[in-house]
Amino acid sequence: MTLRAKIVALVVGLTLALLGGLAAFLGGSWSRWSLDTLDAELTDRAAGIAARIEVKRDGRIEMEGGEGAPRDTSHPVRVIGPGGEIVGHGTLPWPSPESGAVTVQGAPDGPWRVVTRRLPAGEDEGGGRHARAGVVVQVAGQEAPFAALGERFREGLLAALVGALLLGGVAAALLAHLSLRPLRRLATEVESIGATMLDRRVGEDGLDPELRHVARSFNELLGRLEQAMQRQRQLVSRASHSLRTPTATILTRAEVALRRDRSPEEYRAALADVAVAARESSTLVTHLLTLARLEEPRANAVRQPVPLEPLAAEVARLLAPRAAEAGLAIEVDVPGGLAVRADPATLRELLEALLDNALLYTPSGGRCGVRAEPGAGTISLSVWDTGPGIPVAERGQVFDRFFRGVAAQGSGRPGSGLGLAIVKAIADAHGARLTLGERPGGGAVFSVELPLGEDGKVSGRAQVGSSRRGATRTRP
């Protein structure tokens, strides 16, 4: 149902309810008033007739003017004497003498109103006249003329009602049209803004306050969209740069090498460069896909107790060859029995990415490691290294996609600039606090605070005192 239809329906409905109620009330009042009027007239007549009645000594009733008094056929009369003698004219299904004013049906010419009056006692003025107490006078009048009038009145009301409804409906439609016009203009304006024109804004001038509010909300939304798109564009152009550079290296290195005959050593050097660049671009693609997967709303939905010690040991084992290559030792210091509530697959990716980062930037001969410490309801899982650490100025940005610190850029190491962004995405998905600090004695420490797994609580605390028991050590 359109807004316009709703407005019209509302106005018509309200008009119908108000005027219909009024008409019903007036119609009812009319019926009551017409009956009251008829009753009053009949009562008058009854009084007139009563005044003309004479009750003879023998109990007979005599009316002034005698039997020859003109008979008013439109107002039949019946008089019942004290002795049960009935005088009158007109044939009607007369009601009982005990009734007041009633309507009788059954007469051939429609319903009749009958007023019954029982003359009270003590109205005898003496002088040959006997008391008329107990005499009952009934006067009838046809309801039809009043009913016809009432019918006309109701017809008039109905016509007025229909007129008011039509007028109200048209007025409502017009009103809706007029008040929706600026809204339509707004819609047209908003529709004309394509994805590439997010710097445009909807005009707020000349609008009613309510619509100005809508327009402003639209503009704020456009602003947010524009920013998001800009961030997206920056990301795409950075991703494009990060992908194209290793590809350019592979292509150029190969093409230059193939331009002439070379010694095996030269070919080997070229192939080594090609391999490094290919590995770099493959890592980048993997990281980009990981991030895209983590962005899906349903990713990270799994939550289950994850025992930390086996996880850390496994990741350390996996990265041991890389550590050996880099001349580094990975130390695992995770008490057995500790468990966190997490998605085991992404938690593993987080640990891998953090250790990978430590392996990339810690100079040969250094150390790095994983630690887990239980806290109040949480476990702090951290990865440390003896590398150069991360300058305070860069700490706010290290988790941004494609951000590479000055040291990382200068190092010539093939980081994708996405590893820590992946760490952040996983920590965020777990609602875990991710902090970056300095290791006493130099180096960086990344810590994630994860909620305790169900079975981690008791055994975890019990293990604290002898935490080294679960520690494993991987030497290059």
> Residue 46 or residue 250: which is nearer to other proteins going by CB?
250
User: How far apart are CB 408 and other proteins at their closest, in Å?
Assistant: 9
> Residue 252 or residue 466: which is nearer to other proteins going by CB?
252
Whose tokens are 């938690």? That residue is 347
Nearest to 310 by CA among 337, 346, 341, 330: 337
Which spans of this chain sit near other proteins (rule: CB under 8 A)? 237, 240-253, 255-257, 259-260, 270, 273, 276-277, 406, 409-410, 412
User: How far apart are CB 262 and other proteins at their closest, in Å?
Assistant: 10
> Residue 262 or residue 303: which is nearer to other proteins going by CB?
262
> Residue 211 or residue 276: which is nearer to other proteins going by CB?
276
> Residue 106 or residue 410: which is nearer to other proteins going by CB?
410
Quick one: how many helices (H) and strands (E) in the chain?
A: 9, 15
User: How far apart are CB 476 and other proteins at their closest, in Å?
Assistant: 26
Please give the structure tokens belonging to residue 468: 């080294």
> Residue 264 or residue 441: which is nearer to other proteins going by CB?
264
> Residue 259 or residue 298: which is nearer to other proteins going by CB?
259
User: How far apart are CB 243 and other proteins at their closest, in Å?
Assistant: 8
For residues 214 and 186, the answer to whether their CB atoms sit within 8 Å is yes
Please give the structure tokens belonging to residue 12: 């018509």
User: How far apart are CB 422 and other proteins at their closest, in Å?
Assistant: 22
> Residue 181 or residue 244: which is nearer to other proteins going by CB?
244
User: How far apart are CB 241 and other proteins at their closest, in Å?
Assistant: 4
Segments of 321-398 assigned E as strands = 329-333, 339-342, 367-374, 378-385
For residues 385 and 329, the answer to whether their CB atoms sit within 8 Å is no
> Residue 268 or residue 317: which is nearer to other proteins going by CB?
268
Nearest to 223 by CA among 253, 193, 179: 193
Would residue 399 be called left, alpha or beta, if left means φ above 0 and alpha means ψ between -120 and 50 degrees?
Answer: alpha
> Residue 258 or residue 302: which is nearer to other proteins going by CB?
258
Could you give the CA distance from residue 278 to residue 273 in angstroms, rounded to a whole number? 9
Q: Specify the DSSP element, H or E, that contains 33.
A: helix 3-51
User: How far apart are CB 287 and other proteins at their closest, in Å?
Assistant: 17
> Residue 273 or residue 428: which is nearer to other proteins going by CB?
273
User: How far apart are CB 273 and other proteins at their closest, in Å?
Assistant: 4
The four Cα atoms 34, 36, 37, 43 give a dihedral, to 10 degrees, of 140
User: How far apart are CB 264 and other proteins at their closest, in Å?
Assistant: 16
Could you give the CA distance from residue 81 to residue 120 in angstroms, rounded to a whole number? 13
Please give the structure tokens belonging to residue 177: 């049209």
What are the contacts of 2-9 at 24+ separation with CB within 8 A? 3/176, 3/180, 4/173, 4/176, 4/177, 4/180, 7/172, 7/173, 7/175, 7/176, 8/169, 8/172, 8/173, 8/176
Nearest to 114 by CA among 45, 27, 31: 45
User: How far apart are CB 420 and other proteins at their closest, in Å?
Assistant: 18
Partners of residue 307 on adjacent β-strands = 339
Cα–Cα distances in angstroms (integers) from residue 110 to residues 93, 141, 148, in the given order: 12, 11, 12
Please give the structure tokens belonging to residue 303: 């939550």
Could you give the CA distance from residue 231 to residue 350 in angstroms, rounded to a whole number? 24
DSSP reduced 3-state for 323: helix
User: How far apart are CB 402 and other proteins at their closest, in Å?
Assistant: 11
DSSP string, 458-476: HHHHHHHTTGGGG-EEE--
